[in-house]
Amino acid sequence: MSVSQSTRSLNLTIIGTGFVGVVSAAVYAHFGNQVYGLDIDKHKIDLLKDSQIPFFEPGLAELLQKTQKTGRLKFTTNYQKAISQADVILIAVGTPSAPSGNADLKYVLAASVSLAPYLKQDAIVVVKSTVPPGTLAKVAEAIKTKTKRHFYLASLPEFLKEGTAVADTLKPDRIVIGATDPFVFQVLEALHQPFGAPIVKISPESAQMAKYAANNFLATRITFANQLADLCEKNGADIDEVIKAIGYDQRIGAHYWYPGFGYGGSCFPKDVKELAAYSRTVGEADNLFNKIDALNETRIAKLLDHYEKLIGGFEHKKVAVLGLSFKPNTNDMRVAPSTKVIPLLIEKGAEVVGYDPKASWLEFGLPQLDNFQQLKTIEAALENVDVIFVLIEWPEIVQFDYGKIRQKNKPQWLIDARNQLDIQQVQKWGFNYLAIGKSVKVPSYERAKSK
Ligand code: UGA
């Protein structure tokens, strides 16, 4: 590839058709590049060829269909076909945590070995997966076991969020390019020009650290809000009012502060654990990241013990858990609060029902549990219920008229894990309302009645 070619549309191959891979492939094709999505999973590729996605992400199926129709986006399992013409190859495979907590690079390195024999001269191999500093040297070593051709390396961390992935990728806040060679910066900068975002050109190590830094900062912010919320409950303050007050300080800001049951999903828990593990390997075992991870891990059990006392025990109570995904607008249940809350409620003697607009406990591969069933409608889940957990802020769950199911002949509890409901409305309906970081007084006669 010559430098002049670097300003035109490119032949791209994205290895790994998980979340990041599929969204990136569709978006790069949308911006006029010729793109191959490559995966060893034939079933996934067959689905994608047919514009079907194996997960729920708003707007993605439509973008896939549109770009596939132009002929610019293809999917294949054939390494030779996908790599031999590629100017830029992006590795976007999973990096699960190893038992030590460190990132397990086995899929990144396997992809590097598999692509190597078909690399064209001077191709750029870009690591998009979240990996620690030092990974590019390992990728180079893996590629060199199978080719003598010259190639370039770069790091291009991803910052999209599930649920808004298409919009985030079409219009990112920034593009971070980690490289050392001016040619690589030039090609990747030209590739990302149509995105209209600031482009940050730094070393690969800084780019990799920036990805961990962003996720760890956001996870710390959430943990900070949660810790503060716990204090507010003890002293009559309201966490939402506190956040409103501090949010006007432009150094702090009012966004991305919602307290709750702790952060979940496939990224924050993993990336905090990885930075914590990395800290331990470099002799910083006692640092902030290790503490944040521990606080998030223990949060749900601590909250459930607290609610258990307030409501006079969960034993023999029917509990509805509303929202099983890790956040709204996704069916992803990786490290979803529901996956901790439901088993703990069962352990505490509750009979649990669940509801989610998109996520399915069994289809996600979670085990069938005694005393738990997922129901198809929110109304069915709320039938004759004693305790309601509004766990995830799906609009349907937040906007539901809970007054309709209120049974006046018994105390019923509504636990708002995301502080989304109107406290006065909920109390008017006659529920005992509990939220995060609000000093709601539970009438002692209600506690006694509910025993
Ligand atoms: C996160 C980052 O936001 C993305 O920038 C990053 O690219 C991605 O991880 C990744 O590394 O791949 P995501 O996991 O999709 O994206 O979801 P978020 O919307 O950031 O939420 C993560 C968790 O934090 C959820 O459990 C959410 O409920 C929780 N959260 C979020 C809060 O508890 N409070 C908030 O104010 C915001």
**b/e code 388-417 from CB counts within 10 Å (16+ = b):** bbbbbbbeebbebebeebbeeeebbbbbbb
For the stretch 111-140, pLDDT in tens is 999 999 999 999 999 999 999 999 999 999
Q: Residues near 83 by Cβ (< 8 Å), separated by ≥ 6?
A: 13, 38, 89, 115, 118, 119, 120, 123
Q: How high is the mean pLDDT of the chain?
A: 94
The residue whose C-alpha atom lies closest to atom 7 belonging to ligand 1 is: 159
Question: Best substitution site from 93, 129, 162 to test ligand 1's pocket, by max atoms within 8 Å of Cβ?
Answer: 162
Is the separation of the CB atoms in 6 and 188 below 8 Å?
A: no
Active site residue 232: no
pLDDT at 68: 96
Q: Is the pTM of this model over 0.95?
A: no
2 pLDDT more than 80: no
What distance lies between CA 165 and its chain's CA centroid?
A: 10
The one catalytic residue among 45, 267, 322, 333:
267
Distance CA 139, CA 385 (A): 54
Could you name the CATH architecture of 203-451? 3-Layer(aba) Sandwich (3.40)
> Which regions of the chain carry the CATH code 3.40.50.720?
8-202, 203-451
CA 266 to ligand 1 centroid distance, Å:
9
Range name among 2-6, 263-267, 327-331 with the lowest pLDDT average: 2-6
Once rounded to an integer, what is the mean pLDDT over residues 51-63? 92
Is the separation of the CB atoms in 402 and 433 below 8 Å?
A: no
220 pLDDT more than 90: yes
Distance CA 415, CA 437 (A): 12
For the stretch 320-331, pLDDT in tens is 999 999 999 999
Once rounded to an integer, what is the mean pLDDT over residues 360-366? 97
CA 218 to ligand 1 centroid distance, Å:
8
pLDDT at 54: 86
Residue 321 has phi, psi (to 5 degrees) of: -105, 115
Distance CA 169, CA 158 (A): 9
pLDDT at 449: 57
pLDDT at 344: 98
User: For residue 3, what pLDDT band results from cuts at 50, 70 and 90?
Assistant: very low
Ligand 1 binding site (Cβ under 6 Å of any ligand atom): 158-162, 215, 218, 222, 256-258, 260, 263-265, 267-268, 326-327
CA 268 to ligand 1 centroid distance, Å:
7
pLDDT at 421: 96
Once rounded to an integer, what is the mean pLDDT over residues 181-196? 97
CATH 3.90.1170.50 is the classification of domain 8-202: no
Distance CA 370, CA 178 (A): 50
pLDDT at 200: 98
109 pLDDT more than 70: yes
**Angle CA 293–302–253, to nearest 5:** 55
231 pLDDT more than 50: yes
